[in-house]
Amino acid sequence: MPLVPLSLPSGVVKPATPLMAKGRYWDANLVRWRTNKLLPVGGWERITSSPLDSAARCIFPWRDNANDQWMLIGCDTKLYANNGSTYTDVTPVNFVPLSEGGSYGAWDYGALLYGDDTDATYPRPASLLDPAVFTWSMDNWGEDVLSVASSDGRLFVYHPGDTQAAVVGYADISAISRTSNVVTVTTVLDHSFRVGQSVVIAGVTTASFDGTFTVTGVPSNNTFTYAQSGTNASSSGGTVTHTGTPTQSRAVIVTPERHCVLLGIDGTSRRVAWSDQEDYAEWDFASVTTTAGFYDLDTQSRIVMAASVREGTIIWTEDEAWLMRYIGLPYIYGFERLGWGCGIVAPRAFATFAGRCVWMGRDSFWIYDGGYVKPLSCDVGDYIFSNLDPNTGKAYVHGAENGIFSEVWFWYPETGSSVPNKYVIYNYAEGWWSIGSMTRTAGAGAGVFKYPIAGDENFDLFYHEDGWTNNGASLVGERWVESGSLNLQQGNNVMMVKQALTDSGYGYDSTSLQFYTSYAPEGAETLSSAYTPRPNGYTDVRVSGRDMRLRIEATQDAPWSVGETRLDLVPRGGR
């Protein structure tokens, strides 16, 4: 009889059983599709010579004004800056890490739901009153980068080449002197104080310098002056703080209008605040000479995170999505609720592309596209959300655009896992989904760097889509895809497959074919031997069954392509 084409569409469909995924791919690992051709996902190469101090939670690549590549990496306990092969610890002074920020009792901040039972003998259900989980957020301010770690809550600024990220509204004093009733303060790092701001000087070796004063001049990036009567003197040590700078913030983002936006400032969980235009250090909301302001969302849940989209800034609460849009004076920004029940499952569970945004909610995916939010149909959604860990999921799910392929990737912890050890891919150009296993704690797409970047549970960073191996170790046996039921002859007859012909294009010797066969819908499956295609694309096969499934597996760490597969079938009867 003529060759029977399988014509399996791109992407994985993951219902409860392979029989329910007739004529589709049902399971996969480290494969993708392009224009209906099955391809291997590229390998990865380590770019850290030694592990970082803790797991990366946010990776932010950018270029400075000299076009040099930089990367800021926010970890559980530190902040790193990368330029070339050097990773510099630039953690801000007095940083409050995940292990200390907001913990209550014996458990780390975000480690358990508030009210979780730790007694296995007398278990009780968890409370829904869970604390906000730890996250980093970062955004450009020209060639500088603003960042917030939710465990700390202060606004940080990093300038390329600095040895430490500075704290906005705070500085350590290296020298201080009083001459003719004018005090000049020299700070260890560049400061962010402005003329007219009230600052508190404390802890100077000579106590007469301590007090609250108004800045009268800013001669340079690391000096400022104020007026104080007294004899000429000099000293060192101490700190300077501008009490008007917000603290206890949840996250930061910068708008196209050059306002720094902080979420949940001063512990107010629904407040969105923005700085004066072009000045991330000016937060005087009462001043008539600045455009700084704030808005409290009319929401029942806490703000979680924000992302830039074509029409403005999308802001997620635990249960809602809002759009922050520039409207000019006098209000500066307007806020529109985009929907209920479309909150984000974890602070970094989103990915942006071409002015749009996809995110993972508690039980479905959502997409912001052209001014409105809608559910994103997901062929693997039931599988993902049924296996998402209810506790670690809300802390560690994260997403990123690939940057090389038209894909967004989400990593999530399966039930019982303390790390994001599973992934799901959405191809926004072709509309297919895929799944697999890979542990990554943070990711960033290609663009600034040639390859996507991701961090693993061992605190290392990797270039992805780079080569075909796992940092030199073979991935043979890790790249594969399995179909659902092929539904040959609707299961009415026992069929024998004599040959298979794959429209591969290239890499014939880099894959093998196997078949799962069964004789009843719920009967046990038998997995055949692996069959290797001949150079002309034909594969000699000898398998029989009433129903079959196909498995394609990579046998080499090399590029390959598989298109339509056709089978030479011989009826064997209706028994």
Query: Which helix (H) or strand (E) element contains residue 387?
Result: helix 381-387
Whether 435 contacts 27, CB under 8 Å: yes
Beta carbons of 273 and 262 less than 8 angstroms apart: yes
Amino acid 572: pLDDT: 76
**Beta bridge mates, 412:** 422
Which pairing describes strands 69-75 and 461-464: parallel, antiparallel, or unpaired?
A: unpaired
Instruction: Write the single-letter amino acid at 130.
Output: D
Q: Residue 173 to residues 197, 209, 377: CA-CA distances in angstroms?
A: 17, 12, 56
* Per-residue pLDDT at 491: 59
Burial of 211 (0-12, 13-18, 19+ CB in 10 A): middle
Query: DSSP secondary-structure letter at 87?
Result: E
Exposure on the CB side of residue 312, measured as CA atoms within 13 A = 21
H or E element at residue 382: helix 381-387
Could you give the CA distance from residue 146 to residue 62 in angstroms, rounded to a whole number?
12
Phi-psi region for residue 394, left (φ > 0), alpha (ψ -120 to 50) or beta?
A: alpha
In total, the chain counts a number of residues equal to: 575
Residue whose C-alpha is closest to residue 470's, from 554, 563, 562: 554
Using DSSP's 3-state secondary structure scheme, residue 220 falls into: strand
Q: Are the C-beta atoms of residues 357 and 305 closer than 8 Å to each other? A: no
How would you write 486-517 as a 3-class SS string?
CCHHHHCCEEEEEEEEECCCECHHHEEEEEEE
In degrees and rounded to multiples of 5, residue 19 shows phi and psi of -65, -30
To which H or E segment does residue 236 belong? none
Read off the tokens for 297.
């969302």
Strand partners, 398: 348, 411
Backbone angle region of 303, left / alpha / beta, with phi > 0 → left and psi within -120 to 50 → alpha: beta
Per-residue pLDDT of the chain (575 residues; tens, 9 = 90+): 678 899 899 999 999 999 899 999 999 999 999 999 999 999 999 999 999 999 999 999 999 999 999 999 999 999 999 999 999 999 999 999 987 654 333 334 444 444 444 444 444 444 334 556 899 999 999 999 999 999 999 999 999 999 999 999 999 999 999 999 999 999 999 999 999 999 999 999 999 999 999 999 999 999 999 999 999 999 999 999 999 999 999 999 999 999 999 999 998 999 999 999 999 999 999 999 999 999 999 998 999 999 999 999 999 999 999 999 999 999 999 999 999 999 999 999 999 999 999 999 999 999 999 889 999 999 999 999 999 999 999 999 999 999 999 999 999 999 999 999 999 999 999 999 999 999 999 999 999 999 999 999 999 999 999 999 999 999 999 999 999 999 876 656 788 999 999 887 788 789 999 999 998 877 899 999 999 988 888 899 999 998 999 999 999 999 999 999 999 988 876 55
Compute the C-alpha angle 303/308/311, nearest 5°. 110
By CB atoms closer than 10 A (0-12, 13-18, 19+), residue 414 is middle
CA–CA gap between residue 155 and residue 310 (Å, rounded): 25
Cα–Cα distance measured from residue 164 to residue 162, given in angstroms and rounded to the nearest whole number: 5
243 CB-side CA count, 13 A: 9
Given phi > 0 = left and psi -120 to 50 = alpha, else beta, which region is 328?
left
pLDDT of residue 490: 67
State the Cα–Cα distance between residues 395 and 283, nearest whole angstrom. Answer: 30
Neighbours of 272 (CB within 10 A): 25
What are the tokens at 451? Answer: 């390859």
534 contact partners, CB below 8 Å, separation of at least 6: 508, 540
pLDDT in tens, 35-51: 999 999 999 999 999 99
End-to-end CA distance of the chain: 20
The pLDDT tens digits for 453-499 are: 999 999 999 999 999 999 999 999 999 999 999 987 665 678 899 99
When computed from its CA atoms, the radius of gyration of the chain, rounded to whole angstroms, is: 28
Q: What is the DSSP string of 400-468?
A: EE-SSSSEEEEEEPBTT-SS--EEEEEETTT--EEEEE---SEEE-SSSSSS-EEE-TTS-EEEESSSS
The set of residues, in sequence order, having a beta carbon less than 8 Å from that of 29 and lying 6+ positions away, is 435, 436, 437, 478, 479, 480, 481
Which class for 356: exposed (0-12), middle (13-18), buried (19 or more C-beta within 10 A)?
Answer: middle
Q: Is the dihedral of CA 282, 337, 315, 65 positive or negative?
A: negative
Written in H, E and C, the secondary structure of 31-45 is EEEECCEEEECCCEE
Distance CA 43, CA 554 (A): 13
Query: In a 3-state reduction of DSSP, which class is residue 375?
Result: strand
Strand segments, DSSP code E, in 168-222 are: 170-179, 182-187, 198-202, 211-220
Place of tokens 């390859």: 451
Q: Would you call 207 helix, strand, or coil by DSSP?
A: helix
Between CA 350 and CA 345 the distance in angstroms is 9
Distance in angstroms (rounded) separating the CA atoms of residues 269 and 317: 9
Nearest-CA neighbor of 545 among 486, 500, 501, 499? 486
